[in-house]
Amino acid sequence: MPSTVGRRAERLAHVQRLARRVDRRTLARVGVVAATAYAAWLAVGLFGRPYNFFDMKIYHGAVVWWASGRELYDFISPGTTLGFTYPPFAGLLMLPMARIPVDVAGLLNAVGSIAALAVVLAGLLRPIVDRLGWPLWFTVGVAVPLALAIEPGRETLGYGQVNLLLFALIMADLIGLRWRARRGTRYDPTAGPLHRFVYSGAWAGAGIGLATAIKLTPALFIAYLMITRQWRAALTAIATTIGVTLGSFAVVGDEARAYFGGVLWQTERVGAADMTPNQSLAGLLARLYDSIETPGLLWLAFSVLMLALGLSRAANSRADGDELTAFTLVGLTANVISPISWTHHLVWVVPAVIVLADAAVRRREASRGLAQRPVQASSYGGLPGVNGLRPPIWYPTLTGLRHGVAAVGLYLLFLISPIWPYEHQLPEVSHYQDGLFGALMENSLALALIVLVAALPWRPGAEPAFYADRLSRPAAPGLARR
């Protein structure tokens, strides 16, 4: 009897020690999340600009103007030359804002954008943290403030923009394609029809379609789906875009005709191409030529080149089983070739940092695995490794280091955002006012986007969801034997 009681006491003490260790670990992680959020807040104050929901005030003023019975695209914000530039469907979505104060609308947009970003990051990081054994809540809790601290995140929230919401719509389709490829394994067949429909991924493409109807640049994702022969998702996106657009013609026909008949082609409504916050290829060329306008033929030639490069690399990434990098490359390409890409549009830098960081970790893991494989002495010219193990292979390790440095460098570039100390505006001040270094800093984000489109690595086999249908088909007899 005493021995039994002693064993029970030992087991209880072990459970108590484990509980204390878990509690301490959880508290430490909560502290790290809180410290990261505070550091992100300080970084926004240090590197950000004064934010007062500037763009949200334009949207709010436009829908208030529209709700009072006047034409939506006739609105010009007081003290500016800016008006409403989105398609009429976006105006219909924003119309309820007319009933609330503009500051409340900005705060609601910020809360919704942060929530959307958290959900997206949870979906994107889930395969990575599952492989590494990290808690998802902790990883997302650290990733969200880090993402909001850099230029696209803080500008989107501070100006009351919708880029994170559009980003979430597009990435929802990526998750849907992932679920569709795993259909039959990701949901309970006894569940309700709505549950089965959601986890079947049959709706994939609807998010891209809605994003395209709200803002036209996501249409490049439809082209990508068609190039990669993902016909169901492409047709879903096209049908959603057309259906929503035709619906806007039926509901607000005058505004729809005004937009597609004229406003769409009035690029001057959004500002001059050479403005510093325009970090697209068109803005880069305009500033290099020290001109308000972009040299048209040169921009067209380089845009076609970047389009072909970005889409071909995205297709190759998909073929090698990395869906996240494929979507990221398409988003970055859209940022580069768009005539206007303000800094708050550049949200595709967030998944680019994730891809680079995960590529570094994967290469480091690969180097460790290779270093532990037993080899024969003759494999190294009679120079066996210690205890019969392969000597360290430095190239994979250095490759991982290179990608890790690139991830950190890219994040720091968009955190510091060195374009603003060298902001210039023609014709008052030349873009070469501060010499070659100043011109390089003023165009640094645009140059980084071009380098990412050309050199962002993909991770073969990281998430081979797109071609799971092909893998599930019966193999040919000869292939099966091989």
**Three-class SS string for 347-399?**
CCHHHHHHHHHHHHHHHHHHHHHHHCCECCHHHHCCCCCHHHECCCCHHHHHH
Rounded to 5 degrees, what angle do the CA atoms 472, 456, 449 make?
130
The pTM assigned to this predicted structure is 0.86
Average pLDDT (96-100) is 92
Q: Alpha-carbon distance 214 to 91, whole Å?
A: 9
Residue whose entry in the numeric block shows the structure tokens 């962002």: 456
- From first CA to last CA, the distance across the chain in angstroms is 63
Structure tokens at 392: 């360290």
pLDDT in tens, 386-443: 444 554 555 555 667 888 999 999 999 999 999 999 998 888 899 999 999 999 999 9
pLDDT confidence of residue 24: 81
- CA torsion sign for 252, 254, 259, 260 is positive
Is the confidence at residue 167, as pLDDT, over 90? yes
List C-alpha distances in Å: 59 to 160, 256, 307: 9, 17, 31
Lowest mean pLDDT across 133-147, 255-269, 293-307, 361-375: 361-375
pLDDT confidence of residue 478: 43
Is the confidence at residue 377, as pLDDT, over 50? no
The pLDDT mean for the chain works out to 85
For residue 322, the cross-strand partners are 463
Report whether the peptide linkage leading into residue 474 is cis, meaning its omega lies within 30 degrees of zero.
no
**Amino acid making up residue 114:** I
Q: What percent of the chain has pLDDT over 70?
A: 82
| Residue 129 DSSP class | H
pLDDT confidence of residue 23: 72
Is the confidence at residue 33, as pLDDT, over 50? yes
Q: Could you give the angle at which helices 219-227 and 206-214 cross, rounded to 10 degrees?
A: 140
For residue 193, the cross-strand partners are none
Number of Cβ within a 10 Å radius of residue 434: 16
Number of Cβ within a 10 Å radius of residue 451: 13
Ramachandran assignment for 252, one of left (phi > 0), alpha (psi -120 to 50 degrees), beta (any other): beta
Average pLDDT (280-302) is 94
pLDDT confidence of residue 386: 46
Average pLDDT (250-255) is 88
φ/ψ of 292, rounded to 5, equals: -70, -35
Give which of 148, 155, 163, 33 is closest to 411, Cα–Cα: 148
212 neighbors 222 (Cβ within 8 angstroms):
yes
pLDDT confidence of residue 3: 55
φ/ψ of 126, rounded to 5, equals: -55, -50
Structure tokens at 127: 């395969």
pLDDT confidence of residue 397: 55
Give which of 400, 415, 396 is closest to 357, Cα–Cα: 400
Strand, coil or helix: 76? coil
List C-alpha distances in Å: 476 to 465, 472, 481: 21, 12, 9
φ/ψ of 107, rounded to 5, equals: -65, -40
- CA torsion sign for 275, 279, 282, 284 is positive
Number of Cβ within a 10 Å radius of residue 438: 18
pLDDT confidence of residue 427: 86
Q: Alpha-carbon distance 423 to 418, whole Å?
A: 9
The alpha carbons of the chain give a radius of gyration, in whole angstroms, of 26
Give which of 188, 213, 209, 208 is closest to 200, Cα–Cα: 188
pLDDT confidence of residue 380: 41
